[in-house]
Amino acid sequence: MDKELEKILIAYQEYGHQVCGCSLEGVKRYCSSVIEFEAFLSARGEGIFSASRTDIETWLKHLFTARGNKSSTRAVKLSAIRSFYGFLMRGGYLSGSPAEQVPSPKFQPPSPHKFTTEELALIFAGPDVQALDGIRDLALLSLMYACGPRVAEINTLDLGGLTFTAASCTALFHGKGAKERQVKMLKTPARALAAWHAVRLSEGAGPEDALFTTLIADKARRGLRLSQAGINAVLKKYAVRVGIADVDAFVHKMRATFATDLYDAGVGVLEIAAKMGHKDVKTTMRYIAISERSLNAAVIPEKRWRQLTRGGLNGQ
């Protein structure tokens, strides 16, 4: 990679993370797309500072034909390129952006999917609370459904991020853009969290230590912070046991279940957005699946039938 581009990417990372408040992981993903585009241009004897709109459109076609990237993936990569060229313009490296007029690939966001009531009941019946891993797993599953956090937010949750009362528990999550939010849980999930919290404290863990850890044979050592893959693996373990396919069990689906069940319970979209850490309610609506309860409620009302069968509209 060109040395000048390498320095600019470091500055771009700092700008995205520190000035714009984007997560470091998100900025790194954007940088990966820029590096990928630069490699494509280099192979053609061209450079990223002199790229044209045609170069970008050719790259997007290449991503589809040669790499098989979906429209949604290509749209994200184009967004990264637009952002990077915007940064170059603000820094005075370029006077215009070749990405400005490039149309974004059209795609239909997938319909949200949720766990059914029956599936949830079977999943929660899975952990053996007489065993250490069962105590941890029930606490983890309870947090997923009661709060709807992102998997990265579960991964970074510390013991000090939980506050208990006699009948509830509040979790403090560090979301995207380094934004914090608190989500309250009631008695049942709070009990499950309190049981695992007590285990961690008995091991000598402090407020800044990880809440969820790997379980190791040597009890003299604390486990390592449970990775994002490890968190998903816990959910998959119990889902597979009750016949849910491995590919259909992931934390993001539990997040959609959380949003849908709140919506079905009559909670407003603005409140759900706040609980999920969304800036825009349009983002929240993409998580709300059409559930059986919603479908059962979606019927022609009896009043309308009376209008039609008892003398028409004038016979109200």
State residue 236's pLDDT score. 93
pLDDT at 222: 58
- The residue among 311 and 49 whose pLDDT is bigger is 49
Using the predicted structure, report yes or no on whether residue 121 has a pLDDT greater than 90: yes
Which is higher by pLDDT, 82 or 304? 82
The number of residues in the chain equals 316
Averaged pLDDT for residues 156-172: 94
214 near 226, Cβ under 8 Å?
Answer: yes
Which pLDDT score, from 0 to 100, does residue 232 have? Answer: 93
Helix (H) or strand (E) segment spanning residue 293: helix 292-297
Give the residue among 43, 210, 72, 267 at the shortest CA–CA distance from 58: 43
Joined tokens for residue 303: 């009043």
Residue 4: band (very low, low, confident or very high) from pLDDT cuts 50, 70, 90: confident
Contacts of 78-85 spanning 24+ positions with Cβ under 8 A: 78/102, 78/104, 78/105, 79/30, 79/104, 80/29, 80/30, 80/31, 80/32, 80/33, 80/34, 81/33, 81/34, 81/37, 81/56, 83/16, 83/30, 84/12, 84/30, 84/34
b/e map 233-256, b = 16+ CB within 10 Å: ebbbbbbeeeebeeeebbbebbbb
Q: pLDDT for 247-270, tens place per residue?
A: 778 898 999 999 988 888 888 888
Query: Residue ranges of the domains in the chain?
Result: 3-90, 117-296
Residue 8's pLDDT band, with cuts at 50, 70 and 90, is very high
Task: Give the angle subtended at the CA of 234 by the CAs of 233 and 240, to the nearest 5°.
Answer: 80
Q: What is the pLDDT confidence band of residue 10, given thresholds at 50, 70 and 90? A: very high
Determine the residue type at 68: G
Does the structure show a pLDDT above 60 at 110? no
CATH of the domain spanning 117-296: 1.10.443.10
Neighbouring C-alpha atoms within 13 Å toward the C-beta of 138: 23
Least confident of 26-30, 133-137, 205-209: 26-30
- Tell me if the pTM is above 0.85: no
Residue 238, pLDDT > 90, answer: yes
CATH architecture of 3-90: Orthogonal Bundle (1.10)
Sign of CA dihedral 259, 263, 269, 270: negative
Local structure of 48: helix, strand or coil: helix
- Name the token pair of 164: 């208990």
Mean pLDDT of the chain: 86
Most confident of 89-93, 107-111, 219-223, 294-298: 89-93
Q: What is the mean pLDDT of residues 177-204?
A: 91
Q: What's the alpha-carbon Rg for the chain, to the nearest Å?
A: 25
Q: How confident is the model at residue 294 (pLDDT cuts 50, 70, 90)?
A: low
Looking at the predicted structure, is the pLDDT value of residue 316 above 50?
no
Residue 45, CA distances (Å) to 49, 53, 55 in order:
12, 16, 12
Q: DSSP letter at 163?
A: E
φ, ψ for residue 185, nearest 5 deg: -120, 150
* Res. 218 pLDDT band, cuts 50 70 90: low
- What is the DSSP code string of 178-211? G-EEEEEE-HHHHHHHHHHHHHHHHTT--TTSBS
For 61-87, what is the mean pLDDT? Answer: 89
What digits encode the pLDDT tens for the residues 184-196?
Answer: 999 999 999 999 9
